[in-house]
Amino acid sequence: MLSILTPAPAHAQFYQCVAYAREVTGVEIRGNANTWWGQAEGRYQRGKAPKAGAILAFKSMHGMPAGHVAVVAKVLNDREVLLDHANWSSRGRVEHGVRAVDVSPEGDWSQVRVWYAGIGDLGTRTNPTFGFIYPDSRPAPVYADAAPHKARGSLVSQDVIQLAMLER
């Protein structure tokens, strides 16, 4: 029997949620989505309030063992946002303006339901989250090794610290 192979069409780039979130926000975190919340501590501000451009960090759960991250595209109200994210409704696909609703009893975004293309509505499962990571709000640097001295303005690099110590 003779079989003929036909070429398959080229597919768009395959995205994991972390690669997509990193690319659109500029956040400098790597690894599985369920590690982003912990990695953000001390590097980026974190909180429970949605803001456009923030990253919503999902916890691990059955069916989502590596967690998930999504970028807030727009805040609709205190319990509803639109998300941009990848690898949710279908493998590697990027989705824009996806509805997400805070269903937590306390209104703290610790539990959400997210629109799922397979049913054309909010998904049936409740997804636990850590909260929001704010990419454009890095904490101020702390220089624990700098000895107290006369005020000289802010220290911006290790070279400045070393020069300040030599001036004593």
pLDDT one-digit tens code per residue, 4-59: 544 444 445 678 999 999 999 999 999 999 999 999 999 999 999 999 999 999 99
Identify which has the larger pLDDT, 144 or 122: 122
Tell me the pTM. Answer: 0.75
CA-to-CA dists, residue 108 to 103, 127, 162, angstroms: 9, 13, 44
* CATH at 69: 3.90.1720.10
Do 133 and 37 form a contact (C-beta atoms < 8 A)? yes
Is 84 found in the same domain as 119?
yes
Residue 5 placed within a domain: no
Q: Is residue 9 part of a domain?
A: no
Question: Is the confidence at residue 138, as pLDDT, over 80?
Answer: no
Per-residue confidence (pLDDT) for residue 165, from 0 to 100: 39
127 found inside a domain:
yes
Q: Which domain holds residue 153?
A: 139-168
Residues making up the chain, counted from first to last: 168
E-state strands within 12-158: 45-47, 55-58, 68-77, 80-86, 94-102, 111-116, 121-122, 127-134
Q: Binning pLDDT at 50, 70 and 90, where does residue 137 land?
A: confident
Percent of the chain at pLDDT above 90? Answer: 68
Q: What is the mean pLDDT of residues 141-151?
A: 47
Let me know if residue 44 belongs to a domain. Answer: yes
Q: Do both 87 and 145 map to the same domain?
A: no
